[in-house]
Amino acid sequence: MLPRDFRDGAVQLQSRLKIERAAPGELFDAKLATPFAVLGIRTAGELVTHIEYLPRGVATLEPTNKLAAKACRQIEKYLADPQFEFDLPFEYRGTPFQQRVWRAIQAIPRGKTLTYLEVARQLQSAPRPVGGACGANRLPLVIPCHRVVASGGIGGFMHARGGEPIQIKQWLLRHENVPANRA
């Protein structure tokens, strides 16, 4: 990539998905192809630290460690069975409010959704900060932010209101058999 391809620390790809630029020396520990994206998986020690949606054309990468391999196996199990429950070791890394939102999101059962407003009411907050916490989620699928929707529609996903991110959210909700009026 050329320097002009970088802007504000992120790479803007033709697919319109923003990809965080890895810190120097930081690499993905696996890249797994799925029907909706390539998932970039990062680990640190005994924890999964990031799962990132990458464009479908990105080259895959075999897992470089046991934890990345476990993450790939669990994602594949989820893709085969939307009722599969992840048990990957991770740490909530965010503000105390973000952590409260992520715990509330993890409690949403498969096949169900809550609106940003419903989550906000549970936490005695407002919908917009809930949406911000969803966007800051570094572990999608494990912390299923795709299950949080707007009161009048699908809402945003990955800080976007259209395009590929929303298509990914729709795919995940259909995969989990969410009724069409909630997806």
Confidence (pLDDT) at 23: 41
Q: Nearest to residue 101, comparing CAs of 120, 86, 85?
A: 120
- Joined together, the tokens standing for residue 148 give 């949080």
- Model's pTM, two decimal places? 0.82
Domain residues of the chain, as ranges? 3-80, 96-182
Confidence (pLDDT) at 75: 98
Alpha-carbon distance of 128 to 166, in angstroms, equals: 18
Confidence (pLDDT) at 17: 39
State which residues of the chain have pLDDT below 50. 1-26
Of the candidates 30, 68, 145, 172, the residue annotated as catalytic is: 145
Q: Is 72 a catalytic residue?
A: no
Confidence (pLDDT) at 162: 83
The dihedral over CA atoms of 56, 61, 66, 70, expressed in degrees to the nearest 10, equals: 20
DSSP string, 116-171: HHHHHHHTTS-HHHHHHHHHT-SSTTTS-GGGEEBTTB---BTTBSSSHHHHHHHH
Angle among Cα 59, 62, 64 to the nearest 5 degrees reads 125
- Indicate the CATH number of 96-182 among 1.10.3720.10, 1.10.10.10, 3.60.21.10, 3.40.50.360: 1.10.10.10
Of the CA atoms within 13 Å of residue 109, those in its CB half-sphere come to: 3
Confidence (pLDDT) at 103: 97
List pLDDT tens digits, range 22-67: 444 448 999 999 999 999 999 999 999 999 999 999 999 999 999 9
